[in-house]
Amino acid sequence: MGASVGIIILMLGVATVLSFSATSTINDQMRIMTIFNTPLEKAIIQMNGLQKIQNLTVENSVLFYESKDVKNFEVVKNQFYVNSALMTDQIEEARNIIISSGKTLPPEYAKSSVNSLSQKMDSLDGLEIAYLNTAERFFKSTSSNGTTNIAAIANELRLEEKLSESQQKDILAELQNSDKSIESTAHANKEKLLTLEVILIVSVGIISLTSSHLVNQINKDLILEVVKKTKSLQKANEKLRRLNNLKDEFISEASHELISPLNPIYGFVELAKCGDIDKEEALTGIAKQAHQIEEVANKMLDIGKIDRNRLQLSFEKFDLNELLFDIVQASRLELVKGVKIQTRLEGIIEVEADRTRIGQVVRNMINNSLKFTSCGTILVASSNDGTHAEVRIKDTGAGIHPAMFPNLFNKFSTMSNNKHNPNGNGLGLHLSKGIIDAHNGRIGAFNNPDGGATFFFSLPKTCQKAGVIQNSLTT
């Protein structure tokens, strides 16, 4: 009960402080409008009226000059100078408002709006001085017998009039926007204050009503927490069982993939001993199988690093099409009869990525197409939409069995119904997905309408340098 009373007192204190702060802010905003915005708006509006009168006197001067009405010309000339003096006084008055207000307004407002308006007022003053100088040239030219182009000077005056009027409108628009912003902020502060007061009142009422049931509620919460933790522990145990099953499956599959190439090695050794093949042929076959073991082992090491978030990436800028061309050229050396590789590469596509790892992805995809394409064409294509680069590898092979799509990029998943497919170990696509995910890219595959399959991946042209691959293992 004592804790509840303390909370109520604390909340009332907070409400009082926030109310005082909000009221002070609203008062400052109203003071800005009273001593600064409103008087300055009035001064600018008066300037705009004087500017229009000046414009009219200039136009009348041109008409009277052209009609040789000397009497009326002198009248409007004198009116112009009178209005110019009033305009100068009005600019000075507006400048004094800005200077005096800058000393009394809140610093954050004086630093932004006051300084901005002061600069614009200086610019307006400069435009008015230039306008008066041009008008002086105009009137002097009308009283001389020279060949000065009066019309050109009049056009110059009209242009300067528009510049001055535009500057006045700019200042007035800034003041009006400031008024709207201040009014909106003040209204928002009032609403916040009202909302806060309502929330505090309701909170105090709730605390007062529920304080007597606090102990019982704590007991209920403890019971719920125990139940929640028990369920969480059960889920954790179930996840551990699944992970343990995955571990056993991984060890079984890995053992098979590493042992499978050993039988051909023993076969080559026995054939060489019996003299059925020569030593050179036996060594070539053994080397090929050893390379296969090394490849599987390296993929397993990389996948292990992916699953532990430990695979380091080295980002650099390079031409993606140059990398694709080099890999395709090397792959052509391994083509079987009846299969060809074509390319469709768009100019230079510069990306920022791990060149070695992206090359590994491309080789995995091309090798995958080669394994399942007995005859036909493999097309390697690239495209660039300005922010992302995409690579597509299309083949005319057997395609992907529909049941394989959900697990296509999982470990030891192959495109064959045979669990231990001699054409692949199911590691390459899983590794490729981990590499592309680390580049914030996208990878996928689909069957072509005319047969075969297409594998693709896309990369941001400028990658975020994450440094390590995030775990892409799904359980």
- Which residues are registered as beta bridge partners of 459? 389
Residue that finishes a domain, picked among 170, 188, 211? 211
The boundaries of the domain holding residue 293 are 217-305
Does any domain span residue 471?
A: no
Q: Above 70 in pLDDT, residue 174?
A: yes
Task: Tell me the two tokens of residue 371.
Answer: 């394994």
**pLDDT at residue 468 tops 60:** no
Same domain flag for 126 and 222: no
Residue 179 lies in a domain: yes
Say if 320 falls within a structural domain. Answer: yes
Q: Residue 245 sits in a domain of what CATH number?
A: 1.10.287
Packed helices 279-307 and 214-259: angle between N→C axes, nearest 10 degrees: 170
Check residue 444 and give its pLDDT: 95
pLDDT for 92-142, tens place per residue?
A: 888 887 777 666 666 666 566 777 777 888 888 888 888 888 888 888 887
Q: Give 190's Cβ-side CA count (13 Å radius).
A: 10
Report yes or no: 431 and 364 within 8 Å, Cβ to Cβ.
yes
CA distances from 146 to 45, 133, 143 (A): 39, 19, 9
The pLDDT of residue 282 is above 70 = yes
Encoded amino acid at 358, one letter = I
Highest mean pLDDT of the ranges 176-180, 295-299, 300-304, 426-430: 426-430
Same domain, 35 and 109: yes
pLDDT at 8: 61
Quick one: pLDDT band at residue 470, thresholds 50, 70, 90? very low
Residue 319 confidence class, pLDDT cut points 50, 70, 90? very high
Residue 113 CB coordination number (10 Å)? 23
Is the domain of 61 the same as that of 206?
yes
pLDDT at 362 over 60: yes
Total domains in the chain come to 3
* CA atoms 462, 464, 467, 469: torsion sign: negative
For helices 355-371 and 428-438, what crossing angle results, to 10°?
150
Helix, strand, coil percentages (3-state) for the chain, rounded to 5, are 70, 10, 20
Task: Determine the average pLDDT of the residues in 374-380.
Answer: 93
User: Which of 67-71, 210-214, 353-357 bottoms out in mean pLDDT, i.e. has the lowest?
Assistant: 210-214
| pLDDT for the residue numbered 250 | 61
Contact residues for 265 (Cβ-Cβ < 8 A; gap 6+): 285, 286, 289, 290
Do 294 and 367 share a structural domain? no
| 472 within some domain | no
**Which has more confidence, 18 or 265?**
265
Question: Of 272, 305, 338, at which residue does a domain stop?
Answer: 305
Q: Is residue 465 part of a domain?
A: no
Above 50 in pLDDT, residue 283?
yes
- Answer yes or no: do 89 and 19 share one domain: yes
Is residue 410 located within the same domain as residue 281?
no
In this structure, the answer to whether residues 31 and 176 fall within a common structural domain is yes
Residue 379 has pLDDT above 90, yes or no: yes
- Position 376 scores a pLDDT of 92
Q: Tell me: the pLDDT tens digits for 51-88?
A: 888 888 888 888 888 888 888 888 888 888 888 888 88
Answer whether residue 425 shows pLDDT above 60.
no
Q: Which residue has the higher pLDDT, 300 or 447?
A: 447
Query: What number is the average pLDDT over the span 405-427?
Result: 62
The residue-averaged pLDDT of 183-211 equals: 72
Residue with tokens 């050229």: 329
Within a domain: 473? no
Assess whether 301 and 322 both reside in one domain.
no
What is the predicted pLDDT for the residue at 417? 41
Assess whether 180 and 79 both reside in one domain: yes
- Considering the domain architecture, whether residues 154 and 14 belong to the same structural domain is answered as yes
**Parallel/antiparallel/unpaired status of strands 442-447 and 453-460:** antiparallel
Contacts of 229 (CB under 8 A, 6+ apart): none
| pLDDT confidence of residue 474 | 35
pLDDT score for 471: 39
Per the CB < 8 A criterion, the answer to whether 436 and 391 are in contact is no
Residues contacting 46, CB < 8 A, separation 6+: 90
Q: Is residue 83 part of a domain?
A: yes
Looking up residue 330, the CATH number of its domain turns out to be 3.30.565.10
In percent, the amount of the chain with pLDDT more than 70 equals 70
Which of 79-88, 270-279, 295-304 is least confident? 295-304
Q: Which residue has the tokens 């007022």?
A: 121
Where among 288, 305, 322 does a domain terminate? 305
Residues 212-241 have a mean pLDDT of 78
Same domain, 249 and 120: no
Residue 470 lies in a domain: no
Average pLDDT, the chain: 78
pLDDT in tens, 413-422: 665 544 444 4
* pLDDT on residue 95: 82
What was the pLDDT predicted at 38?
Answer: 78
Residue 40: predicted pLDDT: 80
Distance of CA 62 to the CA centre of its chain: 58
Both 318 and 259 in one domain: the answer is no
